Amino acid sequence: MKGSLILFCLALGLSYTLPAQNCGNYYPMVEGATFEYTNYNKKGKKEGIAKYKVSEVNTSGDVTNATMSIELVDEEGKELYKTDYKFACTDNTVSIDYESLIPSSTLQQFKDMEIDVSGTDLELPNDLSVGQELPDANVAIKVSMNGINMNTTVDMINRKVEKKESVTTPAGTFDCYVIYNDNKMKAMMVNSTMGSRIWYSEGVGMVKQESYKKNGKIITSTVLTAFSK
């Protein structure tokens, strides 16, 4: 499977006053919020754009639920894929639908095939601190094509808040927490492990993401290139 195992880590939202629990510090909850991410390969060449929009937000009691719409386009602006996923905020933690753990490059690769996805949701607390350890997450993907099944599992382990630092992208300059994790992938007869770092900014969400080989070299990267809320 080609791709960076891009953790769905992208911004979401709410158009009215937030509940007292202040849901979504790192997933800004503003209905109608939009986010554009540009994907690059290991050579820094642009490979496409992922456009996200918070299409719906509902609050019931202490739980806020939202839906994120996703559109993938190639470097020439041609639409490749459309989908959406859900996330929720409760008890000061955002839980992101495990389906969003599927890399955008994988969605593009399998866009004409039948895909079945299962797993455990990814959790991100509203209060982050350097050294904080975060729960693991995983996703299992079953792809069917012409009667042939291909199974892939991805485990996101060793999640930890590494540091704070400032990051500049075409969308601006942001103060971020950096979260590192290892991605263990099993696909057919192939097993691999890749490192990943995600830069989160309060009030914005994911600003940058990088995936690495074991030797530390970058495989792919994603940066926030535009957003509005």
Per-residue pLDDT reduced to its tens digit, 150-194: 888 889 999 999 999 999 999 999 999 999 999 898 887 788 899
Where do the structural domains in the chain lie, given as residue ranges?
33-228
User: Which contiguous run of DSSP H or E holds residue 85?
Assistant: strand 79-90
Beta bridge partners of 195: 182, 212
Place of tokens 């971020």: 176
- Whole-number average pLDDT of the chain: 82
Q: Which residues contact 39 (CB under 8 A, 6 or more apart)?
A: 4, 6, 46, 47, 48, 49, 50, 104, 105, 220, 221, 222
Q: Which residue has the higher pLDDT, 9 or 213?
A: 213
- Residue 41 and residue 25: Cα distance in Å, rounded? 30
Give backbone dihedrals phi and psi of 97, rounded to 5 degrees, phi first.
-50, 130
- What is the pTM for the complete model shown? 0.79
33-228 to CATH, choices 2.40.360.20, 3.40.50.2300, 3.40.50.300, 3.30.2350.10: 2.40.360.20
Beta bridge partners of 155: 138, 184
pLDDT band for position 9 (cuts 50, 70, 90):
very low
Scanning the chain, the segments in alpha helix (DSSP H) are: 104-109
